[in-house]
Amino acid sequence: MNALEVNGLTKVYPEFMLDKVSFCVPEGHVVGLIGRNGAGKSTTIKGILRLIAAEGTVCVFGKNMGEDEMAVKQLIGYVGGGFRYYPMNTLSAVRKAYAPFYQKWDQGKYEQFLAQFGLSERKKVKELSEGMKVKFALALALSHGAKLLIMDEPTSGLDPLSREEFCDIVLQLVREEGVSVLFSTHITSDLMRIADDIVYLSQGRLLAACPLTELLGKYQLARFATLAEATAAKAIGVKAVKAGYEGLLPRDMQISTNAAVTDATIDNVIVHLEKASEEGRYAEFN
């Protein structure tokens, strides 16, 4: 069963359009939502949570969000980055206001998370570090029996150690609690660490929605001495680098003898697909 199914999610702004985005988050999977700044990651998450009025359907564990929003939101834990709300209030005051909204609020579990994360309820939100704010948001989101965790760039602004800790927590939740996760990020090392699948957005359009290994296995990085060679090889998203030109080649493609080929990293895939998308070669790899 899919934890989340998004079909035809569309939002039109005067200068940006999220264009019929469809993907799913299989149960127990961690799905990374990636794309450059302004690609539509946050708009997609807001559309899923109905924070914006968007077209399209969203189903969580088979329940339609449009038909039963309140019941569906009981199943979702939302972490919009660090906890940015009520800076002058104590964690205790925020929790007291937050908990009554959830039928399955588990105070014991919440206290367990606080202890695990080293959080004190007596502290004010403004006194927490960025990493602690993310942990507090996680503690709230996970203490009401949420089965789907949706996070919008939770690791941006965190130092490498805190990011590592965050990834450990997410993996632990997936393994021990069976939680499914959708999280947006542009820190690709986090994706390599915890993501099973990738949803890749560019300029409001879906470029790829597939397992991470499939995306990485689809392309290889080719380096060419000249632009003419790169063009002749029909490399995707060719760009000049220090020593020649670089582009992606589908793995099953016959390789030119002049090209030096290596495995593509997720950064390589994003950079070159984005370049190709800007050049209008979207259809070739979609």
Partner 1 sequence: MLSLIRKELALCMHPTAFLFLFFAVLVFIPYYPYEVVFFFSCLSLFFCCMKARENGDIAFSCALPVKKEHIPLAKMLVVFGLQAVILLLVGSIGAVKGVVLPAEQYINQAGISANLVLVGNGAVLLGVFNLIFFPRYFKAPDKIGVPFVVGAIVVFLLISIFIVLRWVTPLYSITLNGLNSVNTGAKVLACLIGLLAYILLTMASCRISMRNFAKVDM
Is 99 or 210 the residue whose CB approaches partner 1 more closely? 99
66 binds partner 1 (CB under 8 A): no
Please tell me whether residue 12 binds partner 1 under the rule CB under 8 A.
Answer: no
Give the phi and the psi of residue 6 in degrees, each rounded to 5: -115, 125
Phi, psi angles (nearest 5°) of residue 25 = -115, 105
Under the criterion CB under 8 A, does residue 61 sit at the interface with partner 1? no
Q: Which of 74, 155, 188, 203 binds partner 1 (CB under 8 A)?
A: 74
Q: Which position among 20, 63, 64, 98 is part of the footprint of partner 1 (CB under 8 A)?
A: 98
Nearest to 44 by CA among 153, 157, 187: 153
Among 55, 84, 116, 120, binds partner 1 (CB under 8 A): 84
Percent of residues in the chain assigned helix, strand, coil, to nearest 5: 35, 30, 30
Give the binding-site size for partner 1 (rule: CB under 8 A): 27
Residue 78 in contact with partner 1, rule: CB under 8 A: yes
**Alpha carbon separation from 274 to 32, 98, 208, 214 (Å, rounded):** 17, 40, 11, 18
Please say whether the beta carbons of 169 and 155 come within 8 A: no
Q: Is the separation of the CB atoms in 186 and 37 below 8 Å?
A: yes
- Binding partner 1 (rule: CB under 8 A), the pick from 12, 97, 232, 240 is 97
CB closer to partner 1, 134 vs 198: 134
Q: What minimum distance in Å lies between the beta carbon of 207 and partner 1?
A: 24
Type of residue found at 123:
K
Q: Which region, judged by CB under 8 A, interacts with partner 1, from 96-104, 184-192, 226-234, 262-270?
A: 96-104
85 is a site residue for partner 1 (CB under 8 A): yes
**x-marked contacts with partner 1 along 25-54 as a string, rule CB under 8 A:** ---------------------x--xxxxx-
Q: Which residues, numbered 208-227, are part of the site for partner 1 (CB under 8 A)?
A: none
Among 34, 94, 181, 271, binds partner 1 (CB under 8 A): 94
Residue 117 touching partner 1 (CB under 8 A)? no
Of 32-40, 83-91, 196-204, 254-262: span binding partner 1 (CB under 8 A):
83-91
- Residue 56 beta carbon to partner 1: minimum distance, rounded to whole angstroms: 15
Q: Are 137 and 153 in contact (CB under 8 A)?
A: no
| Minimum gap (Å) between residue 51 Cβ and partner 1 | 4
Q: Which is nearer to partner 1, 95 or 186 (CB)?
A: 95
Cβ neighbour number for residue 75 with a 10 Å cutoff: 18
Residue 67: CB atoms within 10 A of its CB come to 10
| 48 and 183 Cβ atoms separated by less than 8 Å | no
Task: Tell me how far CA of residue 250 lies from CA of 36, 45, 152, 261, in angstroms.
Answer: 22, 30, 31, 11
Cα distances from 260 to residues 90, 148, 189, 220, 228, in angstroms, run: 57, 43, 25, 10, 15
Helix 160-177 crosses helix 130-142 at what angle (to 10 degrees)? 10
Q: Is 14 in the site for partner 1 (CB under 8 A)?
A: no
Query: Which chain residues interact with partner 1 by CB under 8 A?
Result: 46, 49-53, 69-71, 73-74, 78, 80, 84-89, 93-94, 96-98, 100-102
